[in-house]
Amino acid sequence: MRFFSDATPYEKRATIGIAIVVAAFAIAAEFVPARAEDRPSDPFGGFTTELNADAPLVKIWDSLRDKMLIEKGYFHKCLESKDCPSVPALAQQLDEIRQYEGKALLGHLNLSVNQMVKPAPGDWTTPLEAITMRNGDCKSYSVAKYAGAQELGISADDVRLVIVHNRRRSEDHMVVAVYQDGEWFILDNLTNVLARDSERTDYQPLAVLDYRGVRRYLSAFWVE
């Protein structure tokens, strides 16, 4: 999987009209950042450190977060104008997921995105693009789940994107980790079954992305 190349310009791949239809997945819920002592440490039990601001992955993630904020604006515009007939259907799907709690909610989110997006070679996309194009690689699935989890009310402090090395497939991969009841659960496009981070011994963590930025695992070999 390619983690260090920029995606094609957003303006060339999605129109405002399409953006409004699926932007619910791109809303980052309003939150108050947790105090350092209350914020859970990164998943997979390893120590992490901030990547250099000039690292390619940092620049890509910063750009993608900006695009996700634009999508949030599209969504609110759609709600105000009421000119987006497809939004109620998407909102209903999110409401159906909200009926569940804890692991059940995470499982339904994981399953829903896995069913909406078909696996295909891809690059970095916003949640909107992933759902609109209905195909993409692990990054597309993960970014959609990352934003979707926050839209469903999960604190941004409890959601992380994690780049791992899949030892079984000898390739890099991306998943979402969500902190629930004192444990990290992994949402993965390769399976509809939730697993704790401690159970995924086939995954070697490489880097973590969230609203605070990008961090690398000290245990992983890394070239910036």
CA distances (Å), 58 to each of 51, 61, 212, 215, in order? 7, 5, 11, 9
Tell me the pLDDT tens digit for each residue of 86-120: 666 667 778 899 999 999 999 999 999 999 999 99
Q: Are the beta carbons of 83 and 96 closer than 8 angstroms?
A: no
Query: Amino acid identity, residue 144?
Result: A
Which residues have C-beta within 8 Å of that of residue 9, sequence separation ≥ 6? none
Q: Are the beta carbons of 40 and 157 closer than 8 angstroms?
A: yes
What count of residues does the chain have? 224
Rounded to whole angstroms, the Cα distance separating 213 from 63 reads: 11
Q: If you ran DSSP here, which 8-state letter would residue 4 be given?
A: S
Rounded to whole angstroms, the Cα distance separating 158 from 179 reads: 5
pTM, rounded to two decimals? 0.85
Helices 138-151 and 102-116: crossing angle in degrees, nearest 10, is 140
Tell me the pLDDT tens digit for each residue of 129-148: 888 788 999 999 999 999 99
Q: Domain-by-domain residue ranges, the chain?
A: 41-217
Q: How many helices (H) and strands (E) does the chain have?
A: 6, 9
CA distances (Å), 16 to each of 13, 32, 78, 134, in order? 10, 29, 10, 17
What does each of the 224 residues of the chain score in pLDDT, given as a tens digit?
667 665 444 334 444 444 434 444 444 444 456 666 679 999 999 899 999 999 999 999 999 999 988 887 776 677 677 777 666 666 777 889 999 999 999 999 999 999 999 999 989 998 878 887 889 999 999 999 999 999 899 999 999 999 999 999 999 999 999 999 999 999 999 999 999 999 999 999 999 999 999 999 998 766 55
Residue range 41-217 forms a domain whose CATH class is alpha beta
Structure tokens at 204: 């070697």
Name beta bridge partners: 111: none
